[in-house]
Amino acid sequence: MSMGNEVIISAALTGAVTPKEMNEHIPLTPAEIAEDAYKCWKAGASVVHLHMRDDQGLGTMDKNKFAETIRLIREYKDCDVIINCTTSGDHRATDAERMAHVGSLQGIEMASFDAGSFNWMPGGVFMNSPQFLNDLGEVLTGRGIKPEIEIFDSGMLGVADYYVKQEKLKAPLHYQFCLGVPGAMPATVENLLYLVNQIPAGSTWSAFGIGKHHIPIMYAALALGGNIRVGLEDNVYFSKGVPATNVGLVERAVKAIELAGKTVAKPAVARQILGIAPL
């Protein structure tokens, strides 16, 4: 289905790294994450992208924390937000631990598929081996979970194509262009335009820029007919020196969409656009 004038807002609520000391609004517990998910949905987000944190505030792939957070979100009876879970929230996790939640839990509608490895400077290697991606593709496709193909660099587009040809992923794909990570593709409008021009016809896509690149990439994505992602995972400041909230970032995205003459997609419409079964 073509996007037309409808724009999907994804809210990436917490990420795996940024400490609460940098921004007191970063949600860490399942209860905090679920409450922020609900508030972001009310503000206009159709998708919430979930990472979990352990009791020390570090990223974890603890299946039980995902289960608890999903349960708490769905306890808000009116909330039909699309639940999108990470598969890369902890560099200490084994491949099996990274897939445990998407392989067994109910209620996960989307999940990240990080289509390659690279040097995430200066911390280390962000590992997504061919075997892991093969197995992850099988799990997501087998369970009817929509993969969000996270593209940090242009070569990853070919990796995604490979798994479509291997029938581990089903076209049309939904791409999330993740720009501005140190060691990967810089967050420029030129780079976003290049990526958008490479993906197969009929694909859907979204984009975000890290930190100060958030605003230019958001406006470029709107101009190019894409969807947008906001949230404290990617950007902890609303403006220079001013701490952001997830809800505030969603509200600003809603205004930008409306100023661009477009419409904020409700979750039911977003599911149609993304090819996800109705809730």
- If you average pLDDT over residues 140-149, what whole number do you get? 98
Contact 255, 238 (CB under 8 A): no
Q: Is the pLDDT reported for residue 222 higher than 70? A: yes
Percentage, residues of the chain above pLDDT 70: 99
Residue 4: its pLDDT value, please?
Answer: 72
Residue 69: its pLDDT value, please?
Answer: 98
Q: Is the pLDDT reported for residue 156 higher than 60? A: yes
Contact 226, 205 (CB under 8 A): yes
Cα–Cα distance list, 190 to 113, 185, 195 (Å): 24, 11, 9
Q: Is the pLDDT reported for residue 16 higher than 70? A: yes
Residue 1: its pLDDT value, please?
Answer: 41
Contact 113, 151 (CB under 8 A): no
Percentage, residues of the chain above pLDDT 90: 97
User: Where does the pLDDT of residue 134 fall: very low under 50, low under 70, confident under 90, or very high at 90 and above?
Assistant: very high
Q: Is the pLDDT reported for residue 3 higher than 60? A: no
Domain boundaries, the chain: 6-274
Residue 122: its pLDDT value, please?
Answer: 94
- If you average pLDDT over residues 118-142, what whole number do you get? 97
CA pair distance 228, 263, nearest whole angstrom:
12
Instruction: Kindly report the pTM of this predicted structure.
Output: 0.97
- If you average pLDDT over residues 115-135, what whole number do you get? 97
- If you average pLDDT over residues 245-249, what whole number do you get? 98
Residue 165: its pLDDT value, please?
Answer: 98
Residue 35: its pLDDT value, please?
Answer: 98
Backbone angles phi, psi at 275, to 5 degrees: 75, 35
| Model pLDDT for residues 161-210, shown as the tens digit of each residue | 999 999 999 999 999 999 999 999 999 999 999 999 999 999 999 999 99
Please tell me whether residue 198 adopts helix, strand or coil conformation: helix
- If you average pLDDT over residues 250-279, what whole number do you get? 97
User: Where does the pLDDT of residue 2 fall: very low under 50, low under 70, confident under 90, or very high at 90 and above?
Assistant: very low
* Fold that domain 6-274 belongs to in CATH: TIM Barrel (3.20.20)
- E strand spans, the chain: 6-7, 9-12, 47-50, 52-53, 59-60, 82-85, 110-114, 118-120, 124-126, 146-151, 174-179, 204-209, 227-230, 237-239, 242-243, 263-264
